[in-house]
Amino acid sequence: MNETGILGVRAWRIRKGISLDEIASSTKLSVRHLDAIETGDFKRLPGGIYNTSYIRQYARAIDFDEADLLDFYNSATNPASVQPKSSRPTPPLSGPLFQH
Taking only the tens of pLDDT, the chain with its 100 residues reads: 557 788 999 999 999 999 999 999 999 999 999 999 999 999 999 999 999 999 999 999 999 999 999 999 999 998 765 444 545 555 565 656 566 6
Q: What is the pTM of this model?
A: 0.75
Domains of the chain in sequence order:
6-77 (1.10.260.40)
SS3 61: helix
